[in-house]
A and B are shown apart, each in its own frame.
Chain A
């Protein structure tokens, strides 16, 4: 399924730049603004079992946007999938808008967490996976999106080091890697997860089929990380 409809209007991946343009006033966006776009689209279009009608369903999948900076791509995908009205997009960042420069779960339908301060999503995702497991809900998958530079924050490493040995197999992390981390080493991201016992795949973060295959790869007994590499952030 690559098309969705909201009030008779169909949105595809090709509509996303225009939806983002409603927020930024410009339909051309640099790589930094769109680093998460393809990852988000493939997840919401083909992987996540979520929808506006399932917002309160305890067995829905959970997607936690931990990297809350530059959320235009996220809001565009939420609008395309009918979680938020397209009419909200032009108000982006204004006083009465539910759509801030960092998302707030209390204000944005479909947002599982509020984010902005880096390094909070992965520990919350661990707790979400623990909570679902404790309730015997083995169906829902928990996904969290972090940035490569966000992994500088030590709180992530508390979560990574705990989740592997605990065997939290319903926990999934996607790292959007635009080479923006200070003091990074090549291959270092996947290696850190693997050292903690995670299943890890590194793919081209613009290749929808490769992303889909990585997102749906089997990883019995282990949490799973997908490192999605995109163009390096400039400046």
Chain B
């Protein structure tokens, strides 16, 4: 047993591990080939201990890493008990800990000079294509994994002694629509994980593996203590909130209602999220993997408390997530499809969880973030007539969805609750260069914010279509009926919507889940969900309302009717009239 590690060394070593995961993330970001990776930053890197506990995470998509990598690392060990330096494993099985099949993950065991497995490095990246039966990585209507069509890799060895297993590479190249892009992304993941391995080996040699083992446990204890401290700031209580995913083919007509019951126990220093009371798995691609069900609940909790609590296996000890087997948001059984597990239903778990905490504890929690995936964030594909090459890529043109918070307005471009806003938004020029599309407009839609003392996001409004030839756009847009709700008196954010604009400039309604084919001259219109507001709109600082009006986000009429703020002819707050109106409104 190594010496007890003091607070100084604890800080030093945690910085070192974080630095290593950051370095992995930088490598992945800079070298990836698909837009979803190198533009939308839909990837994550983390470090797990030899006993599969999450130790360090670079700034990564929340839905990717809180829970899941632990299960994946355990699967790797179970299937390959004799791990050797130079091994690498490809993992995307939602039945074995991966988030969803589109998230190819490279796992690399870090083996010390004596052959002992010390850590596992994980680099996960959403792929542009994974060989699904249709050209999208979110096959929302797939009845099961067979209709979904993804190649599933339950921790399959792809490198031995640092050499690729070209059999597997060739299999992927035969099935994945953009084989060169996939190969580039695969190399980027391998590179990231190998860089992490190299650094960690150096760290182990420098400080000693025993010291690192001791560090792991104390780091978890420290993080747990911070978590307890954060939970003790909240009052005791329990609340149940629901959130309903709009109906799509394969779901009941009324959609899928998710119920989350949150119980806060400050004395015990624990938060429980109960997801047991939910529908069975559905014959569609929306079911959650176990990783996403757990993580979504945890995202809801971490969004609600002191953000500086470290996210690792130590703080996780203080969150209990209750899941049921074969539930739409529980533990799925093969061949249930989990194609869109990171987004749609996952959001319907995280949102009511954070909203429930807001209802229990004023000054904590978060309103609901908007749902996705609208057409402006869909997968576009087709044949590029100018180059003769097929293309398929997810675009990130216009999305918002941020929720009002206890002390601040939303972060507009949160993307969706499981993304945390890390996602980039595409450059119009870059998108028009990469594929033959034309983006007519991308702007904020007026009067669409989730009004509150602190406001949720406005909708992003986008129109785009093919510049030449045909364009297929695949999307699964939730939130057209069930928009993001506000909390503590805050109003809901605007709902999503989409329609086609014909060459004659006529509107044609489109379903919320489809693959739409457009010809040159036609456009698709996409409106993203806004986000819910936190607190009553009539409590909002009148100067903030005046600024929103001046900036042309909010009409003077809405300022009056929703916020109770009266502006004079030059847009300044009429304080007396505002006080009077607000008194009347709250009477």
Question: Is B truly associated with A?
Answer: no
Q: State the B residues within 8 Å of A (CB).
A: none
Interface of A with B (CB < 8 Å)?
none
